[in-house]
Amino acid sequence: MDISRRIVLHFPPRVTGQPVVYHLAKDFDLTFNILKASITPGEEGLLIMELSGDQRNYDKGIQYLNEVGVKIQSLSQDVVRDEARCTHCGACINLCPTIAFSLEPKTRRVLFDHNKCVVCGLCVKACPPRAMRLYF
C-alpha cells in the first residue's frame, strides 16, 4: 500500500553533511517533495517534505532516519482557518514562507491553500483576529 506523509526533519549538526535524502530515494524507493529546507553543513538543519512510497519502505525509511540521528516530527498538527473570524485583511499574506495565502484579484478576499501549508505556525500569532488555529 502506498502512503504519503508530510514530515518535519530536524538535523543535528553532525548529520547535515550527509546525503540523507539521497539514501531515502535510492535505498527505500521513496519519492520526496521538499516543501521547505534550511540546511547548512555543520549547523542544525530543518527540512519539511512530503514523503511517499510503499508503506513498508516508508517505515524502513523512517527507521533509517532515526538511526542516523534525524529527529522526526510528523505533521499531524494542522493549521485551519476559522472562516467566521477571518476578516480578509491580508496581514498573513507576506509572512507565509510557502505562499499558502493569496488574494483573489477581483474581490480582494484572502485565499488559504491548505495544501501549501507546512504548519510552521507563523500566521497563527500574526493574524490580528486570530483566525488561524493550530490543531494537534
Partner 1 sequence: MTSGVARIIMSKTIAEINEKIKRGKAVVVTAEEVINIAREKGGRQAAEEIDVVTTGTFSPMCSSGVFLNIGHSKPRIKLGGGKVYLNDVPVYTGLAAVDVFLGATALPDDDPRNKFYPGEFNYGGGHVIEELVAGKDIRLIATAYGTDCYPRKKLETWINLKDINNAILFNVRNAYQNYDVGVNLSDETIYTYLGVLKPELGNANYCTSGEVSPLLNDPYYKTIGIGTRVFLGGDIGYVAWHGTQHNPHVLRTDNGTPKGPAGTLALIGDLKQMKPEWLVGTSMLGYGCTLTVGIGIPIPILSEEILRYTMVSDAAIFAPIVDYSEAYPQRKPDILAEVSYAELKRGHITIQGKDVPTASLSSYPKAIEIANILKGWIEKGEFLLTEPVAPLPGIESGITFKPLKERPLME
Nearer residue to partner 1 within complex by CB, 19 or 107 = 107
Q: Which residues bind partner 1 (CB under 8 A)?
A: 85, 87-95, 103, 107-109, 125-126, 128-130
For residue 29, give the C-alpha cell: 524507493
| CA–CA gap between residue 21 and residue 123 (Å, rounded) | 28
Nearer residue to partner 1 within complex by CB, 26 or 130 = 130
Nearest to 75 by CA among 9, 126, 2, 18: 9
Instruction: In angstroms, give the least distance from the CB of 46 to partner 1.
Output: 18
Nearer residue to partner 1 within complex by CB, 68 or 89 = 89
Instruction: In angstroms, give the least distance from the CB of 105 to partner 1.
Output: 9
Nearer residue to partner 1 within complex by CB, 6 or 81 = 81
Instruction: In angstroms, give the least distance from the CB of 42 to partner 1.
Output: 23
Instruction: In angstroms, give the least distance from the CB of 125 to partner 1.
Output: 5
User: What b/e readout covers 47-67, taking b as 16+ CB neighbours within 10 angstroms?
Assistant: bbbbbbbeeebbebbbebbee
H-type alpha helices, 4-109: 20-28, 55-68
